[in-house]
Chains A and B, each alone.
Chain A
Amino acid sequence: MQAQFPQKTLLSLVLSLLLLSAALAMPGCSSSYQMLLSQLQRLANDTEDPRSLAEPYMHHQSLNTTTLRKSCTEHPAAFPSEDALRALSKLDFLHTIDTMLGQVQHRVEALKQQFVRTQNFPQLENAEYKIRGIRNNVYCMSWLLRRSQKTLEPTQTSSRALLSPAPTSDTFQAKLDSCRFLWGYHSFMGSVGRVFSEWGDSLSRSRRHSPRRALHKRAHGFRHSRSSQRPMPRS
């Protein structure tokens, strides 16, 4: 365990350096903290709405029946809880968003395979654009925070794959899993928006939490979704 911590710190440092260098290398980030924050809030609020993705998905996959809707919405996929997000430092918070949205992006990409034609489900592409936009802004915001802090702070990275759904050949369960995932994503973005709204108007020094505590909180803050463990037939 003692050996793990410096290793994680080192990894964070490397990642931060990479982010920073990328930020310095790539122009286009607004230097206005206010603008970035408002954009992030707006995007988070936009994506919080299930009508932007989860509801159309339910419609297309015929999950909008009473029972199946309930099954989907009452057991959303596990995303970091709002408390856990609030407990993070600003940089860690941004990093978590980036990580989670990276996974969402992959999942959304995979959802395309569930349709004959993606033209039938244009919300998927819209969601992808928005996720990209949020990630860009998150990236810019972290660049801004780091620049204001002068010194680089190590960020906490996830030590495990947060959302790695077990691939299932069962289409019915895959539908429900995807639905729950999207529902969880909307909920997560709602939490993100609310945490952003608590950020100050000025670019103050980010909150500092014990990395251990934050990590601990995050680990406990995950909501575990209902596992769709389907017994596999013995062959």
Chain B
Amino acid sequence: MAFSVVLQKAFLLALLSLRAYQNEVFDEPIQLVPEVQNVSTSSKPQQVNLQWTVPNLAHHQELKMMLQIEISRIKTSNVIQVVNYTTTVKWNQVMHWNWKPDIPLECVKYFLRIRGMVDDDKFLLQSSWSNWSSWQEAHIPVSLEPNTVLVFPEDPLVEEGSNITICSVYGRNQHNVSCYLQEKPIPGEQLDSHVSIFNLNNVVFFRDTGTNFFCNSIDTKLEDGIVLFVSKVLEEPKNFSCETQDFKTLNCIWEPGVDTALAWKQQPPQNYTLFESFSGRRKLCNKSSCDWQITDDSQEIYNFTLIAKNYLRTRSVSVSFHLTHRVYLKAPHNVSLEIINTTKAHMTWKVHSRGNDYTLLCQIELLCEKEVIHEHNVSVHMSGDYLFNDLDPDTEYKASVRCADATHFWKWSNWAEKTFSTPEAAPSEALDVWRIVRSKNGSRIVTLFWKPLSKSRANGKILFYNIVAENQDKPAKSKHCSIPAPASDTQLTLDQSSYKLHITANNSVGMSPETILVLSRESGNQEVVEKRINGTKDGFLISWEPRSRDVISYIVDWCAHSQNQLCDLQWKNLGPNTTSTIISSDAFKPGVRYNFRIFEIPVQGPVYLVEKQTGYTQELAPLESPEVLTSNLTSHSFTLSWQGYASQFQAGFIQGYRVYLKSKEMHCHSGWDKVLLSDNSVCCNYDIKDPKQKIFTVENLRPESDYEFSVRSYTSVGENQNATFMMVTTPDEHSHMLLKTMLPMSLCVLLIMVVCYWKSQWVKETCYPDIPNPSKSSILSPIKYMQNPHLTIMNVKDCIPDVLEVINKAEGTKTLYTGAGKLHAENVTKLPPVPTEKDSCGPVPCIFFENFTYDQLAFDSDSHGHVPGPLKDILCQLGPLTPPKNLLNVLGNSNMKSLTGSPTEETSLIYVSQLASPTCGDKDSLTTNLPRPVHCSEYKMQMAVPPSLASPALSKNSDLSSMILLGKGEPG
């Protein structure tokens, strides 16, 4: 059996060889039918692999064939694609053909068949298509449960912007299946009862972890899904270039573009491979650079291809160059600097060169304070040098050098830098000095100002300034002083001699050329009229008339005119032929007055003040308003003055003042204008056009009227807006007369009133003493009313004596002393005090003798202190007097009666006894310990006493008082 099989094969081979030979020889058409060996499928990636052979080929025969493959879906009649391709077939070789289905193989069946046609030039006769092979099925079957939903293909990897078809397969129990791309529902297309397809076109990159596509059944809540991995499109590398620094390595760099890596290991980052076509070498590179070793020194031309690749795409970019044209030199090395002197330095350096045959171009830069101050190119081979001239002393520099291939410039190397400093030198320029000279107490105060030397002139750090004042008249009296830096002025006190001032600046190396100022005996500060000038924002144009021809130079100095005495003096030196200059300064400010002085420096003689000028760069309205004082206020006028107003320190030249006056009648007199103010109020305005006039009298006013006034200064720009109105009221027309007369009179009256008040008691007693009205006394008997209403009878028993006075009646007249005066013990018989209950002599009524003199002073006078003795003593003393019996009875009854009722209730007058309380001494005690009327009646009886008991030395007042009383008593 085996033998027969072998024999059969040998026969067939021989036949094929024979047929081939015949074809070649006889050019007969032949048909070679491809025979499908195998159809395999893969799920990931979705692919169909067709393996076929051409069985009729002769031994070791190769021929070119055209193949045609027909693909049907679901059923063989549904041809969806016909693919033609050409290939060379060999004897006994299995050919492969791959095809990627559009709908996943799990969801639909595909059928393929193939046929071929010889398409080889060796065959002269035209061949024809062979017969089709038999249909081959391509499908991936899945096990599908009735309740299952499955989605295919599994984890597809596609490029952004491409299209993909996803299918879902579901069991027979699943009818309501919905599918989503992330959250977005995707409508499907029903292929058959259990298969739906979903076409996703132009897919976008969502996240490197993929985009979820899933289907779920509403019935069973089961879901299945896939992760659609969308890769970003691989970009072509940009700016690909290679260069060498040392002719040993080529450094290639490029910009890689977006990273196309995907998570879940679906796609790693794209890789980069460098391929050189001449050498055929290949190297896997980093993401953005690659080092290529130059192994063959003889190779001068390179052709590089950079290949970027990921799972989906390959990109490549090529570059071809001559090695010497891509030389990026290393930075020069061994850079050194030799300082030759204060202004020269010599720089040397070495370069990385291939030898003396190669010429390099080197660029040298010198930087000072980060600014390039010098640039130069030199050609070098292995090393270079350069001399820096004209350097500034005491300055730090940075020297830099970089090189490139001079023949084929590619790019500069990096800079090689070296920093160095030049040494100090003596200051190279004389100081610019100016002065202010003032006389004081016979001396001259010279203030010297100088401008600090610029760095380029100082040539080092200025340590001090030397000033030598050389006395021209008495050389021995020369002065020397050293001012430490950074001072810029100093003050010298010199006598009236001529001086020559030598000023120098000194650093550690030496001194500057000296500046000489000559101070002559004459001050040179002649009185000149100050001229006003108008400045602009650019400065002041100063011009002057030259005084003489022998002039060394002119100096214009200036200063801000301010109330502050400190002045930042500035000056400018000008040539001898100059008669004008523009003074500009950033320090000039609008509204500030600047004073300029032009000095002439003659060849001989003192400095001469040529002119004084003053002005503003820009005038402004006054910022300060005058402080106005009013005076001479009359009923028709008042005077305003603002003498203290500093018009020279205002923000412009004061041109005058405006007086504003407001009143109710709003009638403006002659010379006044009616104006509308900014607050829409109307007032009268008087313009004082003389800026020196600082006093003004407002006239024609009405008496007793209110006026508001304001004084405002004004410049060419406008008037001061900050002024406020002040009020003044004109007085009455006669008020001043009244004032002159009434005031002294009022004062006199007031004085009199004070005196009167002070002596009121005295006045009262003197002018209008109180006279008791007997008719109102209860002492008077009521019978008077019954008998004769005009007749008043004094009831003696009602009189209660309080003081018994013994009157010396030598002349037979009765003199009675009242309690207002003082009684002396040796002259007056002391009477007992008013008895108290305790001291009372039992039922014996108090009987007193009294006069009728009483007044309020009795309370206050010291007479109360003359307390009479005890009542019993009184009684004892009264004993020898033995009054008439009836009188005593009357007295007793009257006294008793008075105890039962208060007499004060019966009369409005208060009759005060001259007998005070035994304890009275002050008002308080008087109030609290006042003897009760039970014991003492206010009505006291006056009795006659023997003249022997009367005091011989009564005071005049007492006499007077008594006399008055007596006089009053006389009619009784």
Contacts and interface: CB of A to CB of B under 8 A. Distances in A.
Interface of A: 60-63, 65-68, 71, 113-116, 169-175, 230-235
B144 A231 contact: yes
Contacts, number: 79
B180 A231 contact: no
Interface stretch (B211-219, B346-354, B532-540, B727-735): B211-219
Contact of B263 (A65, A115, A230): A115
A63 B155 CA distance: 16
B227 interface: yes
A92 B694 CA distance: 109
Nearest to B142: A233
Given A171-B155, A231-B143, 20 more contacts: A60-B209, A61-B212, A62-B207, A62-B211, A65-B182, A66-B183, A114-B263, A116-B262, A170-B154, A171-B154, A171-B227, A172-B155, A172-B212, A175-B227, A230-B150, A231-B142, A231-B144, A233-B43, A233-B141, A233-B142
B180 A169 contact: no
A172 B209 contact: no
A62 B206 contact: yes
Contacts of B206: 62
B214 A68 contact: yes
B651 interface: no
B224 interface: yes
Interface string B119-152: 0000000000000000000001111110010110
20 contacts: A60-B209, A62-B182, A62-B206, A62-B211, A67-B216, A68-B212, A68-B214, A71-B223, A113-B264, A115-B209, A169-B154, A170-B155, A171-B226, A171-B266, A172-B212, A230-B150, A231-B142, A232-B143, A233-B106, A233-B142
Given A66-B183, A172-B214, A233 B227 contact: no
A65 B142 contact: no
B182, B261, B263 — which one has the most chain A CB atoms within 10 A of its CB? B263
Contact of A171 (B140, B145, B180, B264): B264
B106, B155, B264 — which one has the most chain A CB atoms within 10 A of its CB? B264
A174 B212 CA distance: 12
Contacts of A173: 224
B225 interface: yes
B180 A65 contact: yes
B208 interface: yes
Kindly list the 8 A-B residue pairs having the minimum CB-CB distance in the complex, ordered from nearest. Answer: A172-B225, A171-B227, A231-B143, A65-B183, A116-B261, A171-B155, A233-B142, A116-B263
A127 B224 CA distance: 29
A113 B266 CA distance: 11
B106, B207, B209, B226 — which one has the most chain A CB atoms within 10 A of its CB? B209
B835 interface: no
Given A231-B142, A232-B143, A172 B224 contact: yes
A60 B227 CA distance: 13
Contacts of A115: 208-209, 263
A217 B650 CA distance: 103
Nearest to A57: B209
Nearest to A115: B263
B895 to A, nearest CB: 107
B143 A172 contact: no
B265 interface: yes
Contacts of B224: 172-173, 230
A193 to B, nearest CB: 31
Contacts of B225: 172
A72 to B, nearest CB: 11
B833 interface: no
A76 to B, nearest CB: 16
B154 A67 contact: no
A166 B714 CA distance: 101
B183 A171 contact: no
B870 interface: no
Given A231-B143, A233-B140, A233-B141, A65 B154 contact: no
Contacts of A169: 154
Nearest to B184: A65
Contacts of B180: 65, 67
B267 to A, nearest CB: 9
A169 B44 CA distance: 11
B289 to A, nearest CB: 20
Contacts of B212: 61-63, 65, 68, 172, 175
A101 B206 CA distance: 33
B332 interface: no
A172 B264 CA distance: 11
B645 to A, nearest CB: 77
B237 interface: no
Contacts of B144: 231
A62 B209 contact: yes
Contacts of B150: 230-231
B591 interface: no
A232 B182 CA distance: 24
Contacts of B106: 233
B116 interface: no
Nearest to B211: A62
Interface string B249-282: 0000000000001111110000000000000000
Nearest to B154: A170
B143 A234 contact: yes
B210 interface: yes
A113 B226 CA distance: 18
A114 B261 CA distance: 12
Contacts of B214: 67-68, 172
Contacts of A65: 180, 182-183, 212
Contacts of B208: 115-116
A3 B824 CA distance: 150
B148, B155, B223 — which one has the most chain A CB atoms within 10 A of its CB? B223
Interface in B180-226: 180, 182-183, 206-212, 214, 216, 223-226
Nearest to A60: B209
Contacts of B261: 116
Contact of B210 (A171, A233, A235): A171
A65 B140 CA distance: 31
B510 to A, nearest CB: 67
A228 to B, nearest CB: 9
A234 B154 contact: no
Interface string B668-695: 0000000000000000000000000000
A9 B698 CA distance: 125
